[in-house]
Chains A and B, each alone.
Chain A
Amino acid sequence: MSLKDKLVSSYLAFEDYIDADSHIHEIRNKAIKTFENSGFPTKKEEAWKYTSLNSIIKEDYCIFPKKENTVEFKEVKKYFLHEIDTYKIVFIDGVYNSFLSETTHDKVDVCLMSSALSKPKYKAVVENYFNKIAKDDSLTSLNTAFAKEGAYIFIPKHREVEKPIEIINFATGNEAALLLQPRNLIVVEENAHVQIIERHQSLTGNAVFTNSVTEIFAEKNSSVDFYKVQNDNNGASLIDNTFISQKDGSNVSVHTFSFGGKLIRNNLNFYQKGEHVNSTLKGITIIEDKQHVDHNTLVNHIEPNCESHQDYKGIFAGNSTGVFNGRIIVEKEAQKTDAFQQNNNILIDDKATINSKPQLEIFADDVKCSHGCTIGQLDEEAMFYLQTRGIRKKEAQALLMYAFASNVLESVKIPELKARITKLIAKKIGVNLGFNL
């Protein structure tokens, strides 16, 4: 049985086993039909031209793990930003783990999607926001149909969450192949502020396929900093579908650090639904072997006087492949838009590939849009400069790669996270940068 058929037939069993109100249930029913009609995307679709899911969907995934799995904190401590105090929402094989988590209901809600979907006190928020910005493409629909668990974060007006929130999805590898579909809803009300770190981490080399959907609503003058750390094992694949709605004066940044995994596809969608909105999309990709990372971004400028900044850096070694497809739409009403997009890539080995495609659709006449894309090798003059200082070729390469990627790190606002990422980069490049971190 194909994965698609298996999913569609499992839906009937899933329906019986969850208790949800009719509103959500209607959305789910509609979503499974959409998925059933369209199936998994293929390379025939323009948006999937360079990314094939064939090798991912051929596995026989366990869709509902039978038992609750646990992990020891000391085994997974390194995946947490344990240097500082954080809220934590932790899932193990898709099931909430209260032992590793630290949630709160003190003035803000940092808790579970399953509670939000079932408890009456969240009903109004869920009705207002759930599935309101997510698209109805096949993968998002698949997630919506099975949406049950994930992070639910609600920050009311004028609240600043004093510590970052970590959302971590562990896969134990107790199943030979596991499908996970976390569903996150994040609502940040007027003038509120939150920092979120998200991570998917498989603890073995077993196959894991995560199809995640996150909806973020940034209301008037709110600010959201979202960091995605993608440094998973070679058996793990991730399709990250993130949808962001921004109102007047809001500020949202998403940093995506893609250092590992079998296949990663980031569908990152920004909708600017107010004036004076600022959207920042940044990414560093450093991959090797046969790894594949695809950044598919959309910034939809709907209202006037807004800005967007995109800066993606990629370093590709071995047989790895990268894709950057950056789409910017400036609608007719969106005058005085300032949209910037930059994608720079370095190919270390002959067999590494990058497909980079900026896509600008501008319907307004008074806008500033710039985009640039480069694909190259490391600068020879710079290499020579470092070598004349006695720095060996490999270290010199590493230093230049770090220099190449470093400006993306400048906007990381959590110093401990920045230090972590710097270390990850050093490790990824395979050298000791000799820095004081």
Chain B
Amino acid sequence: MLQIKNLHAGVEETDILKGINLEVKAGEVHAIMGPNGSGKSTLASVIAGKEEFDVTQGNIYFESEDIAELAPEERAHKGIFLSFQYPVEIPGVSVTNFIKTAINENRKAKGLEDMPANEMLKMIREKAEMFEMDRKFLSRSLNEGFSGGEKKRNEIFQLAMLDPKLAILDETDSGLDIDALRVVANGVNKLKSNKNAIVVITHYQRLLDHIVPDFVHVLMDGKIVKTGTKELAYELEERGYDWIKEEAKAV
């Protein structure tokens, strides 16, 4: 589904990603771990199409199509979703109105009519229930005054509504207490199928107890230096990253 080949990207003259290779197939869950500043969030942003970053080398293919030239919204229409580490506050626009706009924009891109209001409402209620969000929450301004946990829950609610093929969860666990983490993870697991894929970016292994990865990649200084299975995440939790650094140097 997603193929990244020798990807170099950065801002202005500075490369942040220095040759990433990654393949994600439908039905898989990948975790990307790594110390601060290793380029995890940059990788997520580059896949989603943030214009601030220049791709200097390499390619990103989504369903065999090179998406490097596509605008973020075009990538979204193809089925890529990025859950933000720091979701943006949009005053005056309610969660409901926002998601309606997003859904209908996606439908428009596919040549479909707006979703009928009652159908939309039903779907919003269903998904909101899934993440234990009450009705009051839906009429609040998007992310404005939300707690860290509410923001993340709202991100995953949008994920559920938009039902993408590829979901990239950037530090979704930060700011979540254990209960909220469980709600969010359960939701993500319910959305999982053999047709979609999930990339989880995280510092900690605890989210991976709930969303179990097929592969764990360690990103360091803009490169994937080690790939393993979920056991690697436990090892990182215990031993930190220094040993990998040593290993990488030795190679």
Contact = CB atoms under 8 A, between A and B. Distances in A.
B73 A382 contact: no
A402 B94 CA distance: 12
Interface stretch (B6-14, B84-92, B236-244): B84-92
Interface residues of B, number: 35
B216 interface: no
Given A382-B88, A402-B93, A403-B93, A388 B101 contact: no
Contacts of B49: 387-388
Given A387-B71, A388-B76, A388-B81, A395 B88 contact: no
Interface string B60-93: 0000000000011101110011101001101111
Given A389-B76, A392-B73, A403-B93, A434 B104 contact: yes
Contacts, number: 88
A390 B114 CA distance: 14
Contacts of B72: 384, 387-388
A407 B91 contact: yes
B88 A389 contact: no
A256 B48 CA distance: 40
Q: Main SS of chain A's interface residues?
A: helix
20 contacts: A384-B45, A386-B90, A387-B76, A388-B81, A388-B84, A389-B73, A389-B76, A389-B98, A389-B102, A391-B73, A392-B109, A399-B98, A406-B91, A406-B93, A407-B92, A409-B92, A410-B92, A434-B101, A434-B114, A436-B97
Contact of B90 (A382, A384, A387, A434): A382
A396 B73 CA distance: 10
A388 B105 contact: no
B212 interface: no
Given A382-B90, A385-B84, 12 more contacts: A380-B51, A381-B88, A386-B88, A386-B90, A388-B81, A388-B84, A389-B162, A390-B77, A390-B106, A393-B73, A395-B105, A403-B92
Contacts of A385: 84, 87-88
Interface of A: 379-382, 384-393, 395-396, 399-400, 402-403, 405-407, 409-410, 433-436
B113 interface: no
Q: Main SS of chain B's interface residues?
A: helix
Contacts of B158: 389
B52 interface: yes
Contacts of A389: 73, 76, 98, 102, 105, 158, 162
B100 interface: yes
B105 A399 contact: no
B97 A434 contact: yes
